[in-house]
Structure 1
């Protein structure tokens, strides 16, 4: 059988003791919104005394400074309808405390043996929490603005770099047409293609909006299409094809990979098909291998080209070897049924 409190006075003493143990401000109001009890925390935090609190109407406390529209809405409209409300936020210059943001939790208590009712009203000070949230929101907004400005600056830089590369490529092409030395003309044309390969990376960065990653397949396809348009004539047809897995690569590595493909394709176009035979084909393949990758440039030409022979290796050979090392990759060359240059990068670990 449950234990009961023997007297009303004992019940009131127990209720007041419970109220005083609560660390947050709490007041008990009667049906007329007069203060029946208040916690010790309420007196301490709001700097009011017992004499001017007990029995007073809530709105009259502190010379009417508790007559807050939001509080009236809670007590006179919401609580009568719902009997309970949690987290009702009030921002107010509270008497004796200053500007504070409070969360109010209210409960209407209805008794079985009486028509009277009481309201429990608890306050949680969230001023510091809201200040932190505002600071965080302002910081986030400021950070987003800085990122937006950075994006605009980077896009402007990309635009300027792309224009500069196109100007350089055009100048090299003009010079190649103007010089009388065939050897110099070839070197200038090679330099022109190297500049275009870097320009393709810039174009992909600008088009994708991604400053860090390049989609390999479309990048290699556009690069080889540019090489074919500028170096393969109708009188000497060569099919230049690209097969690539879905995959992305860092933009810095894409530059190196693009330059490697440029050098190998130019080498094949210039030296693998001297007789202009039918069915000439160059295939560029990219395959993902877990965290690594395999890049292959294959032609069905003579199977021997100056790139293969160190004695004939020139600037292009040195460039490819340096770029392969830069990519932390390994290169293998086979000359049966044409020439196949395989460059494999294995993930560390």
Structure 2
């Protein structure tokens, strides 16, 4: 509320105008109700005027209102009336008034100072946060650009390397992984997409992977719950899904026009997630290496271990990979 009246406090003429208006209103009201009041109560309407003025307009307008109110109460409402005569009861009444308004004004002023300091600290914190966020975004942007640069270097290296199927395949796989990591990095650290659901985030990731692979006609169905996962584990989960989907895109649909991949994440009780990635491809029978021995398989197992789970692979009507990990 004090922040609302900042503009009034920053314009002294407005504050003093409010002080005079509050004093005048309090005096008129006190004169109007005098006939119905018992003897005493000289400050009945002046205390609220002083408190309101100090709260809204600040210290010095509050002091002005207090001085004018004290003089008016002394002249009109403390015997002998309509004079500034001084006697024992008058001194006592004025001393009581001075004590009360001093306490009121001091408390309100100290509260205002504390609020101003708090608001200044909030503004400074907000500014520092914006600066830190900008620097962090720039850092992530540079990291993603560096990944893209490394992928481009590997692409050039592949062109100049001696012709070898194994070397070419290894370089292709490295290029795809780095490109995938770059895209994951950009998406997860992009503030415009930070509020996206898991469903939307992994649908976008799947679309990127299909585009990178160049395999036509593949449909990826994503089924994710309305859950939130902390960023470090979300990055690991994204890497794991990218590796599994790329494995399917690379091996499952050879010799056929497209196929289908299903990705789902489900809760198992209150403390576990179950991740399933399944394709309708040709299975593991055509693999050149023993199941679980390839680089991609080792990467998947390591990523699963980082999530605190163990990867299980079954080969029936396509390949199904399942990971149960703590929620």
With normalisation by structure 2, the TM-score equals 0.67
Moved more, 321-330 or 239-248: 239-248
In 2, distance between residues paired with 1:344 and 1:307?
25
Shift of 1:284: 2.0
The answer to whether structure 1 residue 80 and structure 2 residue 45 are counterparts is no
| CA–CA separation in structure 1 for the residues paired with 2:277 and 2:248 | 9
Query: Residue in 2 aligned with 1:228?
Result: 210
Q: What is the rounded CA distance, in whole Å, between the counterparts of 1:151 and 1:80 in structure 2?
A: 55
Structure with a larger share of its residues in helix: 2
Alignment of 1:232-311 (within 5 A): 232-234=214-216, 237-274=217-254, 276-278=255-257, 280-288=259-267, 292-304=272-284
Q: How many residues align?
A: 267
User: What pairs up with 1:131-170 in 2 under 5 angstroms?
Assistant: 131-170=113-152
Residue 195 of structure 1, CA deviation: 1.7
**Distance across 2 between alignment mates of 1:205 and 1:101:** 58
2:60 maps to 1:92: yes
Q: Is the 8 A contact 2:223 2:263 kept in 1?
A: yes
Seen in structure 2, the aligned counterparts of structure 1 residues 257 and 91 have a Cα distance that, compared at 3 Å, is same
Q: Report what 1:319 is aligned to.
A: 299
Distance 1:287 1:190 in 2: 30
Structure 1 residues 193 and 79: CA distance shift in structure 2, 3 A = same
Contact preservation (8 Å) 1:331, 1:341: yes
User: Do the aligned residues in 2 keep the contact of 1:283 with 1:297 (CA within 8 Å)?
Assistant: yes
**Helix, strand or coil at the partner of 2:277:** strand
d(CA) in 1 for partners of 2:172, 2:280: 24
In structure 1, how many angstroms separate the alpha carbons of the residues matched to 2:65 and 2:272? Answer: 56
Instruction: Verify: 1:193 aligned to 2:187, yes or no.
Output: no
Contact 2:307–2:326 (8 Å) recurs in 1: no
What do residues 195-219 of structure 1 show as CA deviations (whole Å, max 9, x unaligned)?
A: 22322233224543477x7632222
Alignment of structure 1 residues 11-30 onto 2, 5 Å: none
Against the structure 1 CA distance between its residues 280 and 170, is the aligned structure 2 distance closer, same or farther, given a 3 Å change threshold?
same
Distance 2:275 2:155 in 1: 29
Counterparts of 1:344 and 1:143, CA distance in 2: 41
Cα displacement string for residues 211-241 of structure 1 (whole angstroms, at most 9, x for unaligned residues): 7x7632222222222221222344xx43333
Alignment of 1:49-88 (within 5 A): 72-75=20-23, 77-83=24-30, 84=45, 85=48, 86-88=51-53
CA gap of 1:148–1:312, structure 2 versus 1, over 3 A, is closer
Match of 2:198 in 1: 216
Equivalent position SS for 1:92: helix
Among 178, 183, 186, the residue aligned to 2:166: 183
Rg (Cα) greater in structure? 1
Compared with structure 1, are the counterparts of its residues 258 and 93 closer, same or farther at alpha carbon in structure 2 (3 Å cutoff)? closer
Whichever structure has more strand as a proportion of its residues is 1
Q: Give per-residue Cα distances to partners, 1:241-300, cap 9 Å, x unaligned.
A: 3333333322222221122122212222233234x2356322222335556433211011
Larger relative contact order (CA 8 Å, sep ≥ 6): 2
Aligned-partner SS, 1:239: strand
SS of residue paired to 2:59 = strand
Measure the CA separation in 1 of the matches of 2:226 and 2:121.
38
Change (3 A) 1:163 1:279: closer
C-alpha distance in 1 between matches for 2:155 and 2:321: 28
**Could you say what the CA RMSD is over the residues aligned between the two structures, in angstroms?**
3.9
